[in-house]
């Protein structure tokens, strides 16, 4: 069987830990090896100025698809043929899939988060507080809203981005969203079921950075989730654990977006445990 190639246009800035190996490549290749899949997943750094040519190259070589990261997630849309439902609502693509002659853009970030959240709690009917309004927050906000969350409070430093995400959720999903400007320690109100950090606070090397949150407002019946994959045990996760909350680290999101991408490209549902183990080795968990 001929090898198929997936490529990854840009991983710049996604992972700051100076690991010898690229974590996403290592994670996906571990799954390929485990399942005997004769596929390859390679990392190439492509800036916005060469993105069109890179996508044309992938098309010419019949690649099954590719992931893309900042700064290419929005720009790539003009070079492909269509969008999946949530990518179209989110307005960003992190995973491109060849379907017949077409390259279709999907967004697996939010789907990955949702899958890992659903292992702990079904978001349907739940009230959510989410810190952040960047790319990850947009993907998560849209997916949890489409999965039936009733109310999402978006807490963000920049008012403009926060308002924009609030409007997106209110206009394009059945959920109700509100925006609160992040000014000092935020207190989570009673009745909130899930608290999510979708900012980059806590990402290596700023591992001691503190999320401005009144920890006394957390209660043991809340789920606290963090998108930060490196380190997985963020300060927020440790603080929430100490208060008896159920916690969800950023590795779950990373692994599950990988599973979904591989499923799109190969049709095979791979074992997430193998992928998580490889990431834990890299991040010395």
In the complex, the residues that contact ligand NDP under the rule CB under 6 A are: 14, 70, 109, 112, 132-137, 156-158, 161, 199-201, 203, 227-229, 250, 253-254, 257
Task: Closer to ligand NDP by CB, 65 or 135: give it.
Answer: 135
- Which is nearer to ligand NDP, 4 or 132 (by Cβ)? 132
For the chain, the three-class secondary structure string (H helix, E strand, C coil) is CCCEEEEECCCCCCCCCCCCCCHHHHHHHHHHHHCCCCEEEEECCCCHHHHHHHHHHHHHCCCCEEECCCCCCCHHHHHCCEECHHHHHHCCCCEEEEECCEEEEECHHHHHHHHHHHCCCCCCCCEEEEECCCHHHHHHHHHHHHCCCCEEEEEECCHHHHHHHHHHHHHHCCCEEEEEECCCCECCCCCCCEEEECCCCCCCCCCCCCCCECHHHCCCCCEEEECCCCCCCCHHHHHHHHCCCEEECHHHHHHHHHHHHHHHHHCCCCCHHHHHHHHHHHCCC
- Give the nearest residue (CB) to ligand NDP: 134
The single residue listed with the structure tokens 């499923």 is 263
CB 69 within 8 A of CB 11: yes
Cβ–Cβ < 8 Å for 64, 258: no
Q: How far is the CB of 104 from ligand NDP (least distance, A)?
A: 20
Q: From the CB of 213, what's the least distance to ligand NDP, in Å? A: 11
Please give the Cα distance from 137 to 89 (Å, whole number).
13
Q: Which of 17, 73, 172, 181 is the catalytic position?
A: 73
Annotation says 246 is catalytic = no
Nearer to ligand NDP, 123 or 135 (CB): 135
Rounded to a whole number of angstroms, the minimum distance from the CB of residue 1 to ligand NDP is: 30
What is the smallest separation between the CB atom of 266 and ligand NDP, expressed in angstroms? 20
Considering beta carbons, is residue 27 or 245 the nearer one to ligand NDP? 27
CB of 158 to ligand NDP, least distance (A): 3
- If the CB atoms of residues 4 and 15 are measured against ligand NDP, the closer one turns out to be 15
> Looking at the annotation, which residues are catalytic?
73
């Amino acid at each position: 069987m001929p090898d198929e190639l997936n490529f990854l246009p840009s991983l710049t800035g996604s992972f700051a830990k100076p690991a010898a190996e690229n974590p996403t490549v290592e994670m996906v290749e571990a799954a390929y090896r485990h399942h005997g899949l004769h596929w390859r997943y390679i990392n190439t750094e492509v800036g916005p100025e060469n993105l069109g040519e890179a996508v044309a190259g992938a098309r010419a070589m019949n690649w099954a698809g590719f992931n893309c990261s900042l700064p290419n997630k929005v720009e790539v849309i003009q070079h492909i043929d269509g969008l999946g439902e949530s990518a179209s609502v989110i307005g960003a693509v992190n995973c491109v899939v060849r379907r017949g002659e077409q390259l279709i853009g999907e967004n697996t970030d939010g789907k990955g988060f949702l899958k890992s959240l659903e292992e702990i709690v079904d978001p349907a009917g739940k009230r959510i507080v989410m810190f952040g309004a960047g790319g990850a927050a947009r993907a998560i906000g849209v997916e949890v809203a489409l999965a039936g969350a009733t109310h999402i409070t978006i807490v963000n430093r920049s008012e403009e981005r926060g308002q924009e995400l609030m409007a997106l959720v209110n206009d394009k999903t059945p959920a109700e969203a509100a925006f609160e400007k992040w000014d000092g320690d935020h207190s989570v109100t009673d009745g909130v079921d899930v608290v999510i950090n979708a900012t980059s606070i806590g990402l290596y090397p700023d591992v001691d950075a503190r999320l401005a949150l009144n920890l006394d407002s957390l209660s043991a019946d809340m789920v606290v989730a963090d998108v930060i994959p490196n380190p997985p045990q963020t300060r927020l996760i440790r603080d929430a654990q100490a208060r008896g909350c159920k916690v969800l680290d950023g590795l779950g999101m990373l692994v599950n977006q990988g599973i979904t991408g591989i499923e799109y490209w190969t049709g095979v549902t791979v074992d997430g445990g193998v992928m998580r183990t490889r990431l834990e080795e890299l991040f010395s968990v």
